[in-house]
Amino acid sequence: MLAQNKNKITGETSVIMSYDGKLLADIIKNVHRHLRKELRKTGDTNSVWTNHCRNVALLETYASSMHQLASKHWEQLRVNNPATSRINWTWSFLLYYFFNGGLEIQRQKSGSNTDWPKLMLKESKISVLDVGSCYNPFGEFEELDVLSIDLCPALESVYQCDFLQVAIGKKIAIDGSRVTCLATNHFHCIVFSFLLEYFPASSQRWTCCEKAQKLLAEEGLLIIITPDSKAAHSNSKVMKSWREALAAIGLKRIKYEKLQHAHCMAFRKISVHSEITCEEREILASKMYIPQDFHCPSDSETEDKDDIKFSEAELAEGFTHLPMLTD
């Protein structure tokens, strides 16, 4: 579990992750490293992902480790310091946007004469698609109607679904514990919380965002949360590049906040009047990069063999399992 140490000089209390928590983080971190290494070796995005999805034992180990890390360690940190929680941030912004005037403010800011239709909420609930959910953390909020999906769910409340490959149609289709089709223009919110860094290629991240744009109702929100323990300006170029790419498909960033260990962003779906070409799509996909995409083979070998040093605060948050936005 988590231990607390009190600084005798400042009186501040810090939370330090147990040895068990660090082992869980290492399991997850190594899966991500392996994916990046395999892509650098083969250059074949599809085969790397297909082979990964077929490795059921690895996926189950990953899911179990993530569930334990999140429910035992991150949840305690969330209780101790709610302001650092990506879950709380997302829930609070959804309430503001849909129930407390945020949507109306964005309509006024648009400066257009668009006669916006009323955004209908089913039974006054916000329809949320939580992608890469693992353990359905948003299920506790009564204001949300959540469909949680994951490549390999840790709990029965989460449906199995490969978001990269799932079909898109007029209706949601569920076969037992699997989601086989998602509906266009359906969801009020789609959440990518620590999702995009999982994928070893920028093209896969772009595919996820394009698919989210199609699944969102107009004026719906795409929430993207990505880990970073550095100062906000340290990776401003990465965040700017993502913002520019998503704006091209009608996902306008309306909220950005840097928490202690993460960038939190909300993108609002607006109308797009022109189709993008294949060439434009390739350029836009390249903008969804993370610094690890440019590591040379010698970098990856060092990364795999050497211990990467992080502060105890970062270890406590469990972020070392993800590819940080670090050069």
Known binding residues for S-adenosyl-L-methionine = 132, 150
Residue 42 CB-half CA count within 13 A = 15
Comparing C-alpha atoms, which of 221, 264, 259, 204 is closest to residue 239? 264
Angle at 158 between CA 157 and CA 160, to 5 degrees: 140
Bin 101: left if φ > 0, else alpha if -120 < ψ < 50, else beta.
left
Give strand ranges (E) for 59-114.
none
Q: Which residues are annotated as a binding site?
A: 132, 150
Name beta bridge partners: 132: none
Inter-residue contact 153 to 133 (CB < 8 Å): yes
Per-residue burial over 71-89, b if 16 or more Cβ lie within 10 Å, else e, is ebbbbbbbeeeeebbbbeb
